Chain A
Amino acid sequence: MARLMPTQAYLYLGALLFALGALGVVLRTNALAMLVSVELMLNAVNLTFVAAAREFGDLDGQVIAFFVIAVAAAEVVVGLAIVIDVARRRPSTDVDEVSELRG
């Protein structure tokens, strides 16, 4: 028998990380910093999933977190490809400079 942390503590930590990530997405204008913030939000959700998996005593939450990691990998790959393509045409990776749809 082990003394466990309450699940709520993990949920509060996940909420704090999610809010920090959301702050970064709104606050930052650098495309790479925004990607970092989105990763932070995804990880906050993952922490919540894993904590919920333990709370309810099944592994489904851990499986979902596993899939979130795989989808995050795909998201980063496509996002970085877009950043590289934009950086070839513009002086910086500031998202405010990319405000029109045509290249």
Chain B
Amino acid sequence: MSAEQGIFAVAGGICVVSAANAVLRRDALTSALSLTVTLFSLAVLYLGLGAPYLAGVQVAVYAGAIMVLLVFVIMLLGAGRVAPPRVGRPALTGVAVLLATALFAVLVSAIARGGLASSIRDEPVAAPDHVAALGALIFGRYLVAFEVTSVLLLAALIAAVVMARKRASGQEWPA
């Protein structure tokens, strides 16, 4: 068993279990922390796939910044308000499980007919100058997309400040 197979078995297993925990647990804080475990195990999978830069971004931006924001809001609103004591809707639960199973079946059949090699192959791993090549690609062919992303982030920042700030009672949206 190679290093990557071991990584896939361990990180993939943790990934699936924590993802199921994140989706199915009632407590929003448990969901968020389980998702953080999923994000970390995905970063380990990226390492196994020869994408160390993306693994770093995943830990710093996703498991770091985004999840801190999510946990912060859950704490801010209070666990009681976030997870109201309400009875589930059994009929809708059945429909949801059916839909998700059907989606998974469609995806699996598409992958199985996709024509990708299903056997374990021998191949050299990623080139050592991979981060430099990634940077050249981002600031070369994808430069416009990169700049548009920065504008999008700025717009999201302004939108969050406008929407989440405290308004005086009765005050409507700014004209």
Contacts and interface: CB of A to CB of B under 8 A. Distances in A.
Contacts of B123: 1-2, 4
Given A2-B2, A5-B48, A67-B145, A74 B156 contact: yes
Nearest to B27: A33
B77 A84 contact: yes
Contact of A94 (B86, B124, B146, B164): B86
A4 B122 contact: yes
Contact of B82 (A24, A32, A67, A73): A32
B120 A43 contact: no
Contacts of B65: 73
B76 A84 contact: yes
Interface string B56-87: 01100110011001100110110001111010
A16 B16 contact: yes
B38 A40 contact: yes
Interface residues of B, number: 89
Contact size class for A?
35 or more
A8 B8 CA distance: 12
B39 to A, nearest CB: 7
Contact of A6 (B15, B53, B121): B121
A55 B19 contact: no
Nearest to B25: A33
Contact of B107 (A19, A47, A72): A19
Contacts of A15: 104, 107-108, 111
A16 B104 contact: yes
Contact of A8 (B95, B111, B153): B111
Contacts of B39: 43
